[in-house]
Structure 1
Amino acid sequence: MEQKYWVPALERADLILKAIARQPGTYKMTDLCEETGINKSSMFSLLRTMEALQWVVKGANEGYALGAGVSYFNTVYNDSLKQNMNLVERFLEESARSVREVGETFQLSVLDRSEIIYLAKQEGQSLVRLESSPGMRFPAHATAMGKMMLALLPEEELEGRYPAKILPAVTARTLTDWSEFTAALAAIRKDGFALDQEEIIQGISCAAAPVLDASGRAVAAVSTSMLQHAFEAKREIALREVKALADKLSLS
């Protein structure tokens, strides 16, 4: 991360939480100063704020432990993992038909800042095997699934993910101009699907559609990928099936 975007107070809070997690209920304020290298004045302000947020609690012996506020984040994180696992199970079940219909690979991903993370893949009959195993990351702006999810973000959130408005080229077809990119996202919002035609892998094209939650927010995306010449022949059925699969997985 570029240093100009770094927030020192958050880094210090992270150091404090990690120190307390290692020795819960043991470290007093002076101990935490020694452990983290943070001066007493800053430590006092940070601990008071973190106590108010219930990130930490001070015991009778003046030692600090993690508070209910941190437990809340852990609960939400675990719930998110469960939701993703349920989504993966549903994707693997529902995408089998889509694969049979199109004869190509289908994939599921979520958006993480300016990247997508692949959650699952259902292989098609094509002899071409895509390097998109679960857990792998790719730049969102160069992928159909990434563009689909970025297109549905509020403008301020989109710009927050790309504060410098820099879009690195992955292939010669990758959109790198910010104005052209945002115009493409506007078209994607209108169409309800996104395409990647050799923008992430030369010779490969993808079509993607959004998976929505009950409020209509995009929580994931599905895509089908194939060789460019195959996509030219299968475009209509590919778009139909990827949108149908996304609809089946959506809660809205």
Structure 2
Amino acid sequence: MDEAIGVSEERKYWVPALEKADKVLAVIAQEPAKHKLIDLSKKLEINKSSMFSLLSTMEILGWVKRAAGDTYALGHTFAEFGSSYLKQYDLHQYFLDEAVSVRDRLQETIQLAKRIDDQVLYMGKVEAISPVRLQSEPGMRLPAHATALGKAMLSQLSEQERLALYPQPELPKLTPLTIDNRDELFAQLDVIRKQGYALDDQESVMGFRCVAAPIMAGTNANQAAAVSCSMLLHQWEVKSNQAIEEMTGLAQRLSLPNHNL
């Protein structure tokens, strides 16, 4: 009963025309210059006269534009909206807002970092209550190849960009388990790129395992960041699947096309 009341209150001032426009824009954004008026009408089950009115209004407003063959694509207004949104976008604050609930679900510390050449620069941390503290703090740097955060970001680079960062085949070790061979690192990066997350099995700190996922910045991998969760080995055995799911989800929520980090 309470849920029904909540839904009713939520839609008390609902504008159906805006809901229809939102559905139209979602289809056009996903499949630009593919659908004509009649296609959109059938796909969304909106009658042709209503669809005509919606598209005409949105075209005047610059929300959509007529493309080849009387199909529709997003208009210039959304480029302006997007530019304005990106100007107000603060990754660090957004991370703090989003990471708190992730920390509470996992009961583990969540971290944010960006890549500076072949180093990981730690930018933010939402710490869990634990007698064991991670050594990494905002402002600290570690070799990218030795951390899940670093590998997540390196995985987005081309082979040429990787070779420029690692001209020598040998890599320094932080622990006995750190990858110390460039070819082995590059092979692992290819796997990471496909699966969408990176793991660190005691490669930066003995006794800890870590999972990280890349935060995407459009097509510019040099502006990418990543989020991670590290935990003691006995906790990893229990929480690994949940941690992977939480980190990939958090990274997706923080990702934006072409934002500056």
Normalised TM-score (structure 1): 0.65
Q: Partner letter of residue 188 of structure 2?
A: A
Partner of 2:250: 245
Give 1:132 deviation, angstroms. 1.1
Stretches (4+) displaced over 2 A: 214-218
> Hey, what's the Cα distance between the residues in 2 that align with 1:202 and 1:180?
20
Q: Name stretches of at least 5 consecutive residues in structure 2 with no aligned partner.
A: 1-85
- Pairwise CA RMSD: 1.9
> Hey, what's the Cα distance between the residues in 2 that align with 1:139 and 1:205?
16
> Hey, what's the Cα distance between the residues in 2 that align with 1:174 and 1:214?
30
Q: Partner letter of residue 210 of structure 1?
A: P
> Hey, what's the Cα distance between the residues in 1 that align with 2:134 and 2:196?
25
Q: Partner letter of residue 119 of structure 1?
A: M
Partner of 2:200: 196
Partner of 1:174: 178
> Hey, what's the Cα distance between the residues in 2 that align with 1:215 and 1:151?
13
Q: Does 1:224 align with 2:229?
A: yes
Give 1:216 deviation, angstroms. 6.7
> Hey, what's the Cα distance between the residues in 2 that align with 1:150 and 1:142?
11
Give 1:109 deviation, angstroms. 0.3
Q: Name stretches of at least 5 consecutive residues in structure 1 with no aligned partner.
A: 1-81
Normalised TM-score (structure 2): 0.62
> Hey, what's the Cα distance between the residues in 1 that align with 2:129 and 2:162?
36
Give 1:128 deviation, angstroms. 1.1
Q: Deviations along 1:98-129, whole A, 9 cap, x unmatched?
A: 00110000000000111100000000133210
Give 1:215 deviation, angstroms. 3.3
Could you tell me which of 201, 208, 211 is aligned with 1:207? 211
Give 1:178 deviation, angstroms. 1.8
Check the 8 A contact 1:159/1:165 in 2, yes or no.
Answer: no
Give 1:166 deviation, angstroms. 2.4
> Hey, what's the Cα distance between the residues in 2 that align with 1:232 and 1:139?
26
Aligned residues: 171
Identity of aligned residues (%): 42
Check the 8 A contact 2:169/2:183 in 1, yes or no.
Answer: no
